Chains A and B, each alone.
Chain A
Amino acid sequence: MRHGWMTAVAVAFLWPAGAGLMAQEQGVTGSTVSLAAGAASLELALADGEARVISLREGEVLIDGEVRGSYEPGGTLDSSWRSLLTSPALFEGPGLADRLAGWMPDVSGDAEVASGTALESLFDRLAESSNRTAAAAVIPQSATIDLSGGGQVAIAPGRITSLGELTRGVELLSRQLQVLGGQVAGLEENLALVVHDDYTVGANQLVEGSLALLSGELDLEGTVDGDVLVLDGTLTLSRSANVTGDILQVGGDVIDAGGRVSGEMVSLLAGELGDLVSDFEVDLADEIDRPVRVNVRSNQRGFFGSIGHNIGHAIGGVMASVVWLLALAVLGFVVVYFFRSRLEVAAAVVRMDTVRSFGVGLAGQLLVLPILLLLVVGIVTWLVIPVYALAVALAIPAGYLAVAHAVGEGVQEQRFDWMDRFNLRRGSSYHYVFIGLFFLLAPFAIASVLYLLGGMLGFVRGLMFFAATVLTWAAVTTGFGAIIITRGGGRKGRASQADFDDLFSTPDSFESESEGEASA
């Protein structure tokens, strides 16, 4: 059914026909023109409900089906009759019966003279009847363009001046409707009138269905009870115009001079309408809440995408550093609470014997797997393997915390004025661990913040991330070594007891300051 009307138009090309117009007047309330290869007919609807059908068909002149004369197909009378029926002026405005009565048929031969006389006589009677009943006639508020003629789509204007142009226009319409697909299904199925040249739908006229404008200037003063599709040409909506549906403009112009459009006016200004979804026939209510995600491709996201991308990276990186800081701080506080002395011993070894700790840690990392394999191969008891794995697993974070403790101690011993200003100088292992972790993780946060500067500092950012990673590995390695050296903080390393005593005592500078304050 989708292209059913197109088939009808094609038939109209094969047998030139399918044109018609309506006019409203006293007496005559409507008209239908049908043109075919062997026939040309005019049907007049009268005010009393009756109809007159005048046809020139296959050499016979028929009035209401009765033979009233004859003519030569393709001859003088045939041409004159067809010219009359395809003249737009005949159907414009009221007075159709009078204009028919004024028609002077061209004839040749006695037979056609008699036929022409019969037609003139008929039209004179119609005009007289129309004028007689004019005063009593009820003028409809609107008239109907009813050119469907058994479901066919009407072509306007009835005057077909260029069959080739009309053919091209209809082909264009066909292609566009295929492109538009289901979005204009309602328009397509309800199509009543195709306009291909200058034409006017009068203020008191009604198009019962949708309308398509192929080309020309269409002045819409009346009503279209459906949608309007503008493929080319100019559609002018007068103040009296009324479109009950939508207007879809794929080409041409739409001039709104104040007409009323109940639906939406959609204009495709560039590109293919393709997937444009409007509310012609598609209800997308179910899809409205469907979440839309934006994936911005690396290096191709442009400025807007880069802003969000960079800010997101920066915030994400800083937040990750903060989360790691808090998690490790919690772990560190637990270790300080339960194993304070062991942590302090390991931290002291880190500080006093840093190089050796790193070396032992590096060797330990290299030997972790071989030792594990040795245990598996030369197994003494299966219990050793999980104990070994657990010991290694605990040694790594414990060593990292020992390094953090050592770093924290080192920072506290520095004369940073800002630490005094914010009252951050503390002497407990809890503070040492927290401050040490802060400094160990700070490079990651700083590198993340560099994302805010976009690609300009990409190299510096990468270098900072690399340095932070190396620093972390060095800290883990050194701490691991310190844990090995001190047997988990259970014994002091090679450093002397005096060194440890110095480490655990209050620094001289602090003591002297304290003494100075006390003396003051």
Chain B
Amino acid sequence: MLRPSLVVALMLATATPLAAQEADWTEVRARRQAGDIESVTVDVEYVAGELRVAPANDGLLYDTHLKYDAARMRPERNWSVDGNAARLDLSFEGLGDDGDMDIEFEGDENGFLELGLSQAVPTDLRIRVGAALSEVDLGGVPLTRLVYQTGASETDLRFGTPNSLRMEHLEFAVGAAEFSATELGNARFDEMEFTGGVGDITLDFTGDWSKDASAAIKMGLGSLTLVFPEDLGVRITKKGFLASLDAPGFTKVDGSWQSPGWDSATHHLEIQLVSALGSIEVRQAD
């Protein structure tokens, strides 16, 4: 759902006379059956538009549905198989000079990438997003690793259902963006790393926790909201200056902030938090 500000901006963009090259919108769907593939590495680089990631239909290894301006960019897919391990690279090449990509938005017609991922094959996923509106639902995708990097974008990432596999590493790198990651407890990660630049960030650690984990959160400027389930033991060690921490219910123990149920919790999350400037709000889920 587009926000009102986005709609206004798109209307303004529509009113702007465009003297540039006419867009050549092309829509392509490419999918592949899982077959004998036992593991897959997916590396996606998406520059601008709308990105939607969700589980693919049964039996498919991946399912990409892409709309792009063929006058300005060209999608590149590379597929390779080594034994039963596969790798898919999806990126875009600009058709301007030196690979530059001039992107324009005409009216409400934007490019998009819908990426469906296997529900059965263990996946190592890396997504790099430029200026995009992203909706990522990884619930049901067996992930062994996730790296999500984004620049100036608006991202809503969630794990709707528990990951069937143990995720060794979960990493977010967010530039100047509005970023929300919810139900991170379903990610089943061992360790998480978050690096944020400027923006409004929400990290929601609710979900079905099955083991202890650790997280390192580095925040530059902006607002950071951390949400935890009540039954999860949380300990936050904060470093930084000029960053306020508002953690109602948490108590300070040995220099760290500890959630009320730390001692009785079945699973624990240790967080190393570094913030330069901004506000940090910690609250427990309803």
Contact = CB atoms under 8 A, between A and B. Distances in A.
Contact of B105 (A272, A278, A304): A304
A277 B132 contact: no
B246 to A, nearest CB: 22
B48 A272 contact: no
B215 interface: no
A269 interface: yes
Contacts of B9: 302-303, 306
A285 B78 CA distance: 6
Contacts of A267: 28-30
Contacts of B94: 292-294
Interface string A284-301: 110110111111110111
A285 B27 CA distance: 23
Interface string B66-106: 01001000111111100000000101111110111111110
B103 A303 contact: no
Contacts of A50: none
A203 interface: no
B127 interface: no
B1 interface: no
23 contacts: A261-B32, A265-B30, A266-B30, A267-B29, A270-B27, A272-B26, A275-B74, A278-B30, A283-B78, A285-B78, A287-B93, A288-B89, A290-B99, A292-B91, A294-B94, A300-B18, A301-B104, A303-B6, A304-B48, A305-B48, A307-B176, A311-B152, A312-B176
A75 to B, nearest CB: 53
A295 B91 CA distance: 17
B78 A293 contact: no
B16 A299 contact: yes
Interface in B1-39: 6, 9-10, 12-13, 16, 18, 20, 24-33, 35
A93 interface: no
A295 B102 CA distance: 5
A295 B100 contact: yes
How many A residues touch the partner, as a band? 35 or more
A303 B161 CA distance: 32
B170 interface: no
Given A265-B31, A294-B130, A295-B96, A276 B26 contact: yes
B92 A302 contact: no
A271 interface: yes
Contacts of B56: none
A300 B10 contact: no
Say what secondary structure dominates the interface of chain B: strand
Closest 4 CB pairs of A and B: A302-B105, A271-B26, A308-B152, A303-B9
Given A266-B29, A275-B74, A291 B99 contact: yes
A290 B74 CA distance: 13
B70 to A, nearest CB: 6
Interface in A344-383: none
Contacts of A263: 32
Interface string A185-208: 000000000000000000000000
A180 interface: no
A234 B238 CA distance: 62
B33 A260 contact: yes
B185 interface: no
Contacts of A268: 26-28
Interface of A: 260-279, 283-285, 287-288, 290-297, 299-308, 311-312, 315, 455
A277 B12 CA distance: 34
Contacts of A283: 78
B76 A287 contact: yes
A297 B91 contact: no
B101 A293 contact: yes
A275 B132 CA distance: 23
Contact of A304 (B35, B102, B132): B132
Interface string B144-162: 0000000111000000000
B280 interface: no
A155 B239 CA distance: 74
A255 to B, nearest CB: 14
A311 B77 contact: no
Nearest to B31: A265
B26 A311 contact: no
Interface string B132-150: 1100000000000000000
A260 B37 CA distance: 13
Q: B18, B45, B103: which has the most chain A beta carbons within 10 Å?
A: B103
A295 B105 contact: no
Contacts of A290: 93, 99
Contact of A308 (B20, B76, B99, B131): B131
Contact of A284 (B78, B95, B98, B153): B78
A288 B91 contact: yes
A211 to B, nearest CB: 18
Contact of A274 (B26, B49, B98, B130): B26
B27 A305 contact: no
A45 to B, nearest CB: 33
A260 B35 contact: yes
A285 B77 CA distance: 9
A228 to B, nearest CB: 14
Nearest to B26: A271
B30 A302 contact: no
Nearest to A454: B9
A265 B32 contact: yes
A302 B27 contact: no
Contacts of B16: 299-300
A354 to B, nearest CB: 36
B28 A269 contact: yes
B115 interface: no
Contacts of B28: 266-269, 273, 276
